[in-house]
Amino acid sequence: MGPDDTEQEQLPDSILDQDLYKFCMQQAVIEHYPDVHVEYGFVNRDATAKFDQQSFGWLKARIDALSGVVATEQDIAYLRSTCPYLSEDYLQFLSEYRFNPSAEVFCSLDKDKSALALTIKGRWSQVILYEIPLLSFISEAYFKFVDRDWNYDGQYEKAVEKGNKLVQAGCNFAEFGTRRRRDFRTQDIVMAALLDIRKDAPGRLTGTSNVFFAQKYNVPPIGTVGHEWTMAIAALEGTYENGNSLALRKWHETFKGNLGIALTDTFGTKAFFANFDHDLASKYDGVRHDSGDPMPFTVAVCDHYRSLGIDPATKVIVFSDGLCPASAISIKTHADRCGIKCAFGIGTNFTNDFTCASSPSVHSKAANIVIKLFKCNTKNCVKLSDVSSKHTGSADELERAQSELLNAGLLGTL
């Protein structure tokens, strides 16, 4: 059993099939670090998810085809009218941008272990756009050729039901599912469904991270910044203790208060809040939670704002860590009690929530994959999440970062 292969493959040759924050980060990289070279690596967090030669061949063909994907005049016009924080200099750069996967993406299959290896190398401003399309290709390759025990039955109805639960509970949410979608068609079904949810409820769909679908369905593209921005700056500037502060200030220099949601868990929330002083807390609209327990985090955020003389009711927390409607609604109730606004980014639960076609009572496991930044120039990069299973980087550099933060009294969560 499997998806209907008789339909024409629904993969757009559009540079806009990308999460917004990658375009934003590309602009910031060009401004602040135009000559830095980087290396990214693929990590499969599920050792049971194996790849075969057929899935690898399809993946390799998709990666190679990126060489023909360019920004059209219509794409640039859309970004210009919809995202005024993207500069004219950047849009000119993007109009001339070309993927060069044969020189920048290195992909192989260990046939004995059925394990996929993938690295991306090149100038940061050039290769930053690979992560999202490659992750979506890898997931699609796996579910197209390896795990075929699923179909699209009920996906539209399920997405409508989830969206209605969220908005009826007063949740404002965006669709964040590009990187781990089962395939492009699934995300298209989900977006069509979310436009059909109730419009008279207290909550609403705020948009999607995917720029292609934002344009197609006439909703706002949503996004700010990823961990790699802070990871890279800490490595390049030689400081984990002050890495968050430097990253936040450089981001604000570029976007002047737009895209003003600060990511909190690159080196743990304790280190983040030590850097998030009154000046930065005033400049940024709020913070994003992406790991750890959201309930004590919400309390800690409110306490931190109050310690700075800032009313938490004027700020927002964006929650994006593995959410489903039930968890988002629970967090919303808690945030309301704490006196702070909240919003939600929900990804995998929308675009990779399936049951087995052969046994509909059995859940079909989603991909658990990431591509992370490992090197900037000769410097190793790390992420010290609030959940240790999400740490990334070499063991030696992780130890060095933890030692620096421990000596500064900044290691761990609040």
Q: What is the pLDDT of residues 25-44, one digit of tens each?
A: 999 999 999 999 999 999 99
- Residue 13: its pLDDT value, please? 87
- Residue 8: its pLDDT value, please? 44
Number of helices and strands (H, E) in the chain? Answer: 18, 13
CA torsion sign for 14, 18, 20, 21 is: negative
Q: Under a CB-based contact definition with an 8 Å cutoff, are residues 170 and 341 in contact?
A: no
- Residue 413: its pLDDT value, please? 78
- Residue 11: its pLDDT value, please? 64
- For 269-307, b/e burial (b = at least 16 CB within 10 A) is bbbbbbbbeeebbeebbbbbbbbbebeebbebbbebbee
Instruction: Report the run of H or E that residue 8 belongs to, with start and end.
Output: none
- Residue 2: its pLDDT value, please? 47
**Residues of the chain where predicted confidence (pLDDT) is lower than 50:** 1-2, 5-8
Tell whether pTM > 0.85.
Answer: yes
Helix H segments across 195-342?
211-217, 227-237, 243-255, 269-275, 278-283, 294-307, 325-338
